[in-house]
Structure formats: structure tokens, C-alpha cells
Structure 1
Amino acid sequence: MLESHRPVHRRRPVAVELARAHEHTMAGDTPAEAPRPEIGDSWERLRRLGLDPERGRTAARLSLAEVEHRRRETHLAEVLPILRSTLLLPTTGTPLILAVADAEGHVLWQEGERKLRRIADGIGFDTGARWIEDEVGTNGIGMTLRTGRPMQVHSAEHYLRSHHAWTCVAAPVHDPRTGRLTGVVDLSGPARSMAPYLLQLAATAARLAEAELRARQLETLHLLRTVAAPLLARVDEPAMVVDDAGWTAATIGLPPVPRLRLPAEGWGSATVHWLPTLGECAVEPLAGGWLVRPLSGSADAVAEQTGNAGIRLDLSRPDRPELLVSGAAGSWSHTLSPRHAELLLLLAVHREGLSAAQLAEALFGDQARTVTVRAEVSRLRRYLGGLLDHRPYRITRSAQVSVTGPADPYDLLPTSSAPAVRELRAGLLDGTARLPAA
């Protein structure tokens, strides 16, 4: 039987399609095949910032002394052995560079095949360099810092043409003590040889790193609990011992809470602070933590705080939404989960309040998901207490509410797919919407 000689239409390689899309976009044209939405958004944002795709900007660079200081401050040195053993596997057969950056994008470690590292040095990807999008264009570290989730940037998805021979995958690492982003794990290598499983491998390594940081935190809390036990045995009033991040090591005469929300300005040198649910407390330093004792009359202080509250939702950093509450009795802050940031943003914009069904529609595009909404609001009330009303859900009318948004509307909760958040983001871009100001 003779083979058919009909022409076979083959799809062009992905790298070729990406290169064409990049060329058309940088020329100001609409590409026939658009890149992924997150890549397209990044390109558009950088074009509006005026970043040259041929040269970029001169990246900020740390001194060796500053690199060493940040290595110690981030605690990432504690998890480097796990990252090496998980990611630099000699059996993969794929030439790779492992880079670990801090929460500001500075590369603190860069290890891997020597020849590949020399090539990377030629594009400025070395220890001390700052790899954020605004300086070196679309890249794995920069996108992970901006979106807060694992990201891959392949070949011509990079904004700078000099990076098109590379593919990088990156995943965020969070500090379990504060919940804040502490760094990024990145794997980079030649675009032609990168395997698709590496993104999942990087994400798994980041979770292992977080688990190691959590284990070390629990060990520290255990040591603090050992130190605190004889001290609490001599205290004849309610008291608790917490570590420097507010995590509880031991309590006496108080309901156990996993963590105290620390004052927005930190403990400082003052000996009396207002704390959520406890009111005014005497605070004394211990080795590795603090002794906290509620003072009499604290319930009155709590009521005063609720009646004269100022609530600020800080969304200026895409990776770290934060709630700040201030009043006559003091102030405190709380790092928000993505879902709670969405909820508070909607309640700040709609001061008249929203029903559970309306919130379900706004968050999920499905009015039937009221059970999920009620559960999330219940969790949020643990921090806001009397500042959050229900029927409808709203921030109490007596509170002053403001939202600090990012410099670029694209960065307003960039990982959120909630219909109402996407609509608000679009409104900020075209000038038809505004965020509540103080």
C-alpha cells in the first residue's frame, strides 16, 4: 500500500509562536496568537512603564556584606540544604541553576552548573542582582513576587530579548511565623531543555522549605515554653508568653489563642500596649519572647477602640495585603489571606453592605455559595469582632475606612479571579472607579 502524499499541517513550535507574539507586541501590533493572559498583562504593564525590551534597566545590586546580612535575616539559609537536595538532582540530566531570592527580588544564592552560571552572569543573573519585572522585564522571580504564586516564564515570554534562550520556574516561600512572603525559589536553564515537571518540583521544594521553617519555629516555641513554665507558675494573675512574632508558647488563666496580633508599630520600648480581644496589656521582655498580662478595665478599652476605629486596607504590595486598625486605645495589624483581602475590599467599597448571596455572586459568580461566604466572614470576625456587622454584612458605620491601592491597577489583588475584583480592577484602569480614601 502506497503512503498518502497529502500535506501534513504541523503546528509551529511554541517558541516560534511566542517569538512572533513578542515581536508584534513590542512593535505595538496585536499578535495573531496572544500569549498567556498573565504574560500579556506583564508585557503591557512594562511597555506602559517604558522599559526597553532590548536593554531593560540597570538592575540594582547588593554589596556582598548586604547579601550576607539578608541571608541571615530571611532565615532562608536554614532551608538551603533541603532546596539543594530536592532541586539540584544529578540524575535529571537537565542543566539547571538554582537561585534563591528574598522578598524584594535580590538573588541571595545562585548555584548550579558552572558553565551555565557563566552564561547567566552575562545577562546579570548572579548573586546580589535584583530580578524584579520593572528592572529586568518579565521573569519567573519577578512574576512570582508580583502574583504570589508559582510561575513559569518560557523562552520569548521573557520581556527582554536577551533572555529568550532561557526558561525559568519559580515558587514563593512564606515565613510561617508571620505568613509573609520571605523569598522565592527559582530554577533556570536553557529553554530547549527545560522539562515540564520542573514547575511542580519547584513548588514542592518551596513547600518543603516552609515545612522546615515551621519545624524550626515549633522547636523555638518549645524552648520558650520551657523557659516560661517556672515564671508563669509564680504569676498569680492571667498571663501569657509569646514569641517575637506573637505566637503563643504558654498561657495561664487565659483562653489559649494560637497567636496575638501585634501592634502595627511593633512592641517598641513601651510597657503597655492595646491588643485585640485583650485590651490594654503590660508587656515585659523575655529571652526569645514576651510576657503579656492583661490589665484591669481592658474591656472598656476594647469598647472604646471599636467605637472610634480607623480601618485601613493596605493593598499596595500585591504579595502582602494587610489590615490596619487604629483607635483611641491603640493600633494593630494583621496580614490577610487572599480571600479575606477580597472580602474586605468589597465591604470597603460597598459601605451600605452586601448580603451573603451578593457576596457569593461577587466572589464566585454563584449566588448559591452562601455557606462558603458565611464561613469566611466568621473567620474574619475573629480579627474584626464588633467592627463587622451582619444582615447585611458590612463594616460598622462608625468606622473610618480607607483602601491603599497599588501604584499600578494591574497589581490590585493580581491573583484574584473574583468577578467583582476584576470589574473593579478594570474600572480603576479606565478611570470609572475609585478606592475609598481616608
Structure 2
Amino acid sequence: MTKEPLDVAQLAAVDARQAARLLSGVRAAALAGLRPPASPRPVIGESWKRTLRLGVDPEQGARTRLLALDEIEQRRQSSPLSTILPTLREGLVTVADAAQHIMVVTDADGTVLWRDGNKAVRRKADGIGFEPGACWAEESVGTNAVGTALVARRPVQVYSAEHYVRSHQSWTCAAAPLHDPRDGRLLGVVDVSGPAATVHPATMALVTAVARLAEGELRERHLTSVERLRAVAAPMLCRIGGRAVVVDRNGWTAAVTGMPPVDRVPLPKVFRPGRNWLPSLGMCTVEPLPDGWLVRVDAPGSDGPEQCPESSRVVLDLRQPRGWTVSVAGGAGSWTQELTPRHAELLFLLARCPEGRTAAQLAGDLFGDATRTVTVRAEMSRVRRTLAGVLDHRPYRFADGVGVELLAPAQPCDLLPHSTAPAVLAARSPGG
């Protein structure tokens, strides 16, 4: 009996039928709570456990209602992924069609927005509900490349009986997440799927490479939009006295006057014209611009505090498998900020350790390597720009007088499922 996780791609390349039989036995034992004949890959084993807790039917899944055509179209038009669809198609559809595969693009909820590729395979996909408007998140259909990549936040390949639902086991799927380079937000996934017998070891690498290429295109489009905003903002700021900055809708700086330049001003989740407290600037007056904001910073000593007051209350919400937020409420108002996966990990660690953590301790918590302090300090610098006045350093900790509430999943094993940080893995385990 082997204890090493299965190398599915290598085994399938040698003997696809043997791989399918072995995986089927592993899945059956795991779902029955028995000792399997081999260990599933960690990303698959963890997904099976999550799916079991969700109560998904292992035979048929939980077929969800297909979205109406008008709602699908509305999601397509509002998704940033629509701008990079030609890049995804150019990189994947021709290859997928020739290999008897299809390409699928979903949003961050796992809803299929676009599908292209081999016609015969598309008809087969209709038979299992893998079609536009269907939800392929884990809570709907269990372990699959789309849903599991959304949770794990990294590329995932799922082969044959690694799928949780039996009716999906004649398929192989490879998916990679797509992120918005402006704020790190998860936008969706791109997936290549087809009959399990057609699995190819290079599919995962190809899907990952094309996903990175598409994210690069989004980054270039963003830089171009900031340049356009800068052309409008620069002459405007020349006529303004005091401190002011022009930012795009995501807080990226286009122009600045009267203060040191910054790459980005963290903006609350809900941001409106008028008086606002920004964690990195203090009290400001905000005016709308085309595709951005003019932010005038109050002079020192004005009626608004420069930093978040000591009576602040912080709520760190990690209950969801794919989205996490930090909310701050105090005398200056309240705001909510979405968190990147890394910042969610860091704030979780600090919430668990009121006495604080040094950079070396956090490096050990995150990477199992106390020497990686440079990476930790860089990330903590970014976090502190978002939470100025709320976080202290030497050691890193929540400031004195700040009340912190940690909202964790009901099941510890569902905590930050994307994370491989040793301290998070320990917190997921029983008694952690």
C-alpha cells in the first residue's frame, strides 16, 4: 500500500484505464471513511472532505437552475474577462478542438459564461450540465477543476474519478484562476475539459500559461487607463493648493501634488463623493472624475482625525471559502476592504496573537522558514497602508485599544482553504 499521493498525470499517460480504476477505488474508500488503497493528491483529498461536509450527492451532484439568457449576457458584459476572451480563445480553443476538448470560462461564482471548442464534446458536456448559465462551484457539483481552482486559488487538474460526482468521471479537466491585476480580486477561471481518455500531461501547463498571458493583457489595459486619467488630472492638480491626489476607481495613483507620491491609495469597498476617512490619508474631500476620483487631503489639525481613533473596532470575516473582508468602524466612520489571500492569512495570524508577531515569527507561520522576513515585511507594509492607525509594528500587532473580532467558518477545516501556511494548516486541524 502506497502512502505517497498519486501522480495522476504520469499514471494516466502510461495506462489511462489502470489510472481510472485505481482512482475509483481511492474515491470510494475516501467517501466511505475507509483507508484508501493510495493517497489522493492533497488538493483533491481536501476538496472531497469539503464536498462531503456540503452534502453534495456523489452520484448526481446538485443540479442548479440554469441562468436565463438575459442574465448570462448581463454577466458577460459586466465581467472584465470579456476584454481578454479573444486572448483565451486564441491560446486554447484551436488546441482544445483538435484534442477533443472544450474551453470554458466562468465567473468568480463558478457560473459558466462562455464555452467553445469541439462540437461533439460540447454535446456531451450538455449531458452533465456543463453549459452556459450552469454553476460549477464545489457546493453545486463537488470536486472539479473549475470549483476547486476557485477555492484553492491556484491551477488545478482533475482527472477521472478524482471528480466527486460519479457522472463526471469520464472527464478530465484543467483550470487556472484569473485575477484582476488592479486589486488581486478573483474574476473567474479558464478551463479546458474533455474525455478522460484524451488526457495530456501538457494541458495543465498550457492552461496556466494562457491564463497568465491574459492577466498580463489586463495589466496592460489598466496601465493604459491610468495614463489617460493622468493626462486629465495633471493640469487640474496644477491649480490646486495643498495636498491632493487623483486615483482611478481602484485607488491607483494617476497624479499627486503637495505630498509624496504613492502607487496606490487603498479605497473602502463603498466609496462615494463627499467627506471620507481614508486609512492612509486621514479625512479627505472626494470629487468624482471620469474613471476616477480627485481626493483633497485635509490640512493637519482640521476637524477630522489623521488616523483611526483608539475606539476602533475591527471585524475580520473569513467565513466564506472564496472571499474575505476586513471592516473598521470608529469615530471617523466605517469602511470595508476586500482582502487578498496573503493579507487574509496575515490578519488571521495577528488576530490570533494579540501580543503580536515578529517578522521572523510570521515568516515561520506563513512559509515554515523564519528567514523569509523580507517577503513578510513587504506584505505587512502593504497591509499597514490599508489599516493605518489600526496596526502597529515591532512587533506586528493590532494597536492598543482596537477591538478585534474574528469571524471564522463553523468548521475549522474550512478556514482559508487556499492556504498552505503551516500556522493555518495547524488551525484547521482538530483542536487547532
- After TM superposition, the score normalised by the length of structure 1 is 0.88
How do 1:91-106 and structure 2 match up within 5 A?
A: 93-106=98-111
The 8 Å contact of residues 343 and 383 in structure 2, kept in 1 or not, is answered as: yes
Aligned residue number for residue 425 of structure 2:
422
Q: Note the C-alpha offset of 1:323.
A: 2.8
What's the % identity of the aligned pairs? 51
Distance 1:397 1:172, change over 3 A: same
Distance 1:375 1:135, change over 3 A: closer
Q: Deviations along 1:342-374, whole A, 9 cap, x unmatched?
A: 222111111122344433333333444445444
Using the alignment, how far apart are the partners of 2:90 and 2:75 within structure 1? 22
What amino acid does structure 2 have at the position aligned with 1:192? Answer: A
The 8 Å contact of residues 102 and 118 in structure 2, kept in 1 or not, is answered as: yes
Using the alignment, how far apart are the partners of 1:292 and 1:68 within structure 2? 35
Aligned residue number for residue 185 of structure 1:
190
Q: Deviations along 1:221-265, whole A, 9 cap, x unmatched?
A: 222222223322332333222222222222222222222221242
Distance 1:375 1:165, change over 3 A: same
The 8 Å contact of residues 354 and 394 in structure 1, kept in 2 or not, is answered as: yes
Q: Does 1:389 align with 2:392?
A: yes
The 8 Å contact of residues 263 and 274 in structure 1, kept in 2 or not, is answered as: no
The 8 Å contact of residues 98 and 118 in structure 2, kept in 1 or not, is answered as: no
Match of 2:350 among 342, 347, 361: 347
Determine helix, strand or coil for the equivalent of 2:308.
helix
The 8 Å contact of residues 246 and 260 in structure 1, kept in 2 or not, is answered as: yes
Aligned residue number for residue 125 of structure 2:
120
Q: Note the C-alpha offset of 1:76.
A: 1.1
Q: Note the C-alpha offset of 1:181.
A: 0.4
Give unmatched runs, 5+ long, in structure 1: 1-9, 434-438
Q: Note the C-alpha offset of 1:423.
A: 1.2
Give unmatched runs, 5+ long, in structure 2: 1-13
The 8 Å contact of residues 280 and 298 in structure 1, kept in 2 or not, is answered as: no
Q: Note the C-alpha offset of 1:303.
A: 4.7
Using the alignment, how far apart are the partners of 2:97 and 2:235 within structure 1? 53
Match of 1:233 among 234, 238, 243: 238
Which protein shows a greater Rg? 1
Using the alignment, how far apart are the partners of 1:378 and 1:241 within structure 2? 22
What amino acid does structure 2 have at the position aligned with 1:126? Answer: E
- After TM superposition, the score normalised by the length of structure 2 is 0.90
Aligned residue number for residue 22 of structure 1:
27
Determine helix, strand or coil for the equivalent of 2:388.
helix
Match of 2:163 among 158, 165, 178: 158
Distance 1:141 1:327, change over 3 A: same
The total of aligned residue pairs comes to 418
Distance 1:371 1:275, change over 3 A: closer
The 8 Å contact of residues 261 and 332 in structure 1, kept in 2 or not, is answered as: no
Q: Deviations along 1:375-396, whole A, 9 cap, x unmatched?
A: 4434433333343333433211
Query: C-alpha root-mean-square deviation of aligned residues, in Å?
Result: 2.3
Q: Note the C-alpha offset of 1:210.
A: 1.1
Q: Note the C-alpha offset of 1:332.
A: 3.6
Distance 1:78 1:210, change over 3 A: same
Q: Does 1:327 align with 2:318?
A: no
The 8 Å contact of residues 264 and 333 in structure 1, kept in 2 or not, is answered as: yes
Using the alignment, how far apart are the partners of 1:265 and 1:90 within structure 2? 42
Using the alignment, how far apart are the partners of 1:111 and 1:358 within structure 2? 48
Q: Deviations along 1:177-224, whole A, 9 cap, x unmatched?
A: 232001110100111112111111111111111111121122222222
Aligned residue number for residue 402 of structure 2:
399
Match of 2:365 among 362, 365, 372: 362
Moved more, 399-408 or 376-385: 376-385
The 8 Å contact of residues 97 and 118 in structure 2, kept in 1 or not, is answered as: no
Match of 1:222 among 218, 227, 230: 227
Aligned residue number for residue 321 of structure 2:
318
Using the alignment, how far apart are the partners of 2:360 and 2:244 within structure 1? 42
Distance 1:96 1:386, change over 3 A: same
What amino acid does structure 1 have at the position aligned with 2:250? Answer: A
Aligned residue number for residue 54 of structure 2:
49
Determine helix, strand or coil for the equivalent of 1:307.
coil
Determine helix, strand or coil for the equivalent of 1:131.
coil
Using the alignment, how far apart are the partners of 1:417 and 1:135 within structure 2? 24
The 8 Å contact of residues 362 and 420 in structure 1, kept in 2 or not, is answered as: yes
Distance 1:217 1:390, change over 3 A: closer
The 8 Å contact of residues 279 and 298 in structure 1, kept in 2 or not, is answered as: no
The 8 Å contact of residues 110 and 147 in structure 2, kept in 1 or not, is answered as: yes
Q: Note the C-alpha offset of 1:95.
A: 1.1
Q: Note the C-alpha offset of 1:408.
A: 4.2
Aligned residue number for residue 256 of structure 2:
251
Using the alignment, how far apart are the partners of 2:80 and 2:24 within structure 1? 39
